[in-house]
Structure formats: C-alpha cells, structure tokens
Chain A
C-alpha cells in the first residue's frame, strides 16, 4: 500500500506553512512545547508508521497561549487539543501559570498503518508568564473545544498612598 490515497495540494500547503511560520515566529516563540511520550502513552511503534518524520520518543507541538487582563482579573487561554479534563494539571508558581498533563494516544481497533503522524502525544509542561500577582486560591478553569481557559483574580494592588508634601 502506498500513500496514494491522500495527497495534499502542494501549492496551498507551502503558502500556508510559510504564512503560518511567519506569524508564529513573530508572536509565539514560547508556544513550542515538547511532548515526552511514556510507556502508557500508547503510541504506535516505528514499524507501524510510514511517516518518515515520525520519531516515537519525541514530539513537538504549538500550544498557543493568550493572556488578557483588566483591573481585577487575568484570563489565560491555552490551546490544548485532544485532552481529557482529568489529565490537565494547573499550578501557579510565582509569576507563571504552569500547565502540564498527558495527552493520550487513541489506538485504532482495526488492523492498519499510520500514514502520517504529526500530532504530538505524551506528557508536556507549558509555563505562561503572568503579568501581575494573582490570588491562586480563587482561580477558576474551564476546558472547552480543546482550549483551556483560566481566570485568575489579581492580588490586591498595593495602593500608593498619596502624601502631600508641603513646600516650605
């Protein structure tokens, strides 16, 4: 069997890749995240995969993150496709939100071969720098459409006390 079944329009592929990378290098150098597959990640062995770029021991993926803020809150949005809620760990460490977890690989029930393997699986850890101090105990998180959204109330800002200095 050859990979004749699924060919990609090459011209459009190149355009999209070039355009995509240009944007990513401008905005998302920190989004490139390493995935380390473990024993229980269930990834196929090299012999079951025809993709020449596939290496069972490593994977990289772009986990795009956005941080929004207003006076009282910070909202962090992180792209985490294909996770289960219970496999996501969220921690606040000093001035960073650290999201880690395990993205599991779903095995197919039928006999076949993996022609293309580009998605990353395994354990990962991504730190998103927070621009302000937060009350970690009051954070709320939701996972929807493969996007994690964490809302963190800002710590009480130390209000600068106004001191009037008389001119003598």
Chain B
C-alpha cells in the first residue's frame, strides 16, 4: 500500500468518525433487549438499519448551538454515534422493535420461532 493510499483512508475514517455508545444487552428465552445511551439524538436523527445479519445503530446529535452564542467550553465535539452488531441466525431481524426515551434507545429483537423453546401440550383424552 502506498503512503497516499493510507492517508486518504485515514481521512475518510475521520470524516466518518463517530462515538461508540455504551450498551447493555439482556437475553432471555424469547429474544434480546439492547439498551444504548444516545444522549441528544432526536427521533428523526436516529437511523436503525438491518441488512441481512448486520444491525447498524446510527444517531446524530442535535447540537443546536444557541443563535449568536459562542462556545466557551465544548466537550461534545463529535456529534455522531455509530455501532454495528452482527446478529446470529436465531434472531428474527425482521421483527426488531425500537423505542427512544430520555436519550436511551431500547431495541427488542425476538428470537426466530424455531429457536425459541417450545412447549408441547399433551392432551389426555
């Protein structure tokens, strides 16, 4: 790889730079619940994508710098979050449900029916 090649790659990575949001993941018999801290991301700036087995969470922070004001101290210099997960086959990616509340995203990904524990009822006549 030539040097210019490396540089352009690093530049591309910079423009796409994003913070990795911390997550909690809970698994029970019927699926997975994922919580991600995404403070400052409004509903319309949150993008959830499922492509085959890849789940991408992407959110843009609404920085809304007040008009005519100057930032005298700034810690949030990277107004974007992104995290990519690979979903296993036992999860049903078509039935993901999402909820955004107080800057926390809650995703519920159910397990596909064949992967769920099955209860077989036996009837005695």
- B124 at interface, CB cutoff 8 A: no
Q: Interface size for chain B: under 10, 10 to 19, 20 to 34, or 35 or more residues? A: 35 or more
Quick check: A82 and B24 within 8 Å, CB to CB?
no
Quick check: A16 and B82 within 8 Å, CB to CB?
yes
Quick check: B38 and A69 within 8 Å, CB to CB?
no
Instruction: Determine the distance from Cα of A102 to Cα of B78 in the docked complex, in whole angstroms.
Output: 26
Please name all residues of chain A whose beta carbon is closer than 8 Å to the beta carbon of B22 when the two chains form the complex: 61, 118-120
Tell me which of A5-13, A133-141, A159-167 binds B: A5-13
Given A7, A8, A15, A68, which contacts B13 in the complex, CB threshold below 8 Å?
Answer: A15
Q: How far is the CB of A18 from chain B (nearest CB, A)?
A: 9
Quick check: B75 and A17 within 8 Å, CB to CB?
no
- B23 at interface, CB cutoff 8 A: yes
- A19 at interface, CB cutoff 8 A: yes
Closest residue of chain B to A80, judged by CB? Answer: B39
Given A69, A75, A82, A114, which contacts B25 in the complex, CB threshold below 8 Å?
Answer: A114
- B69 at interface, CB cutoff 8 A: yes
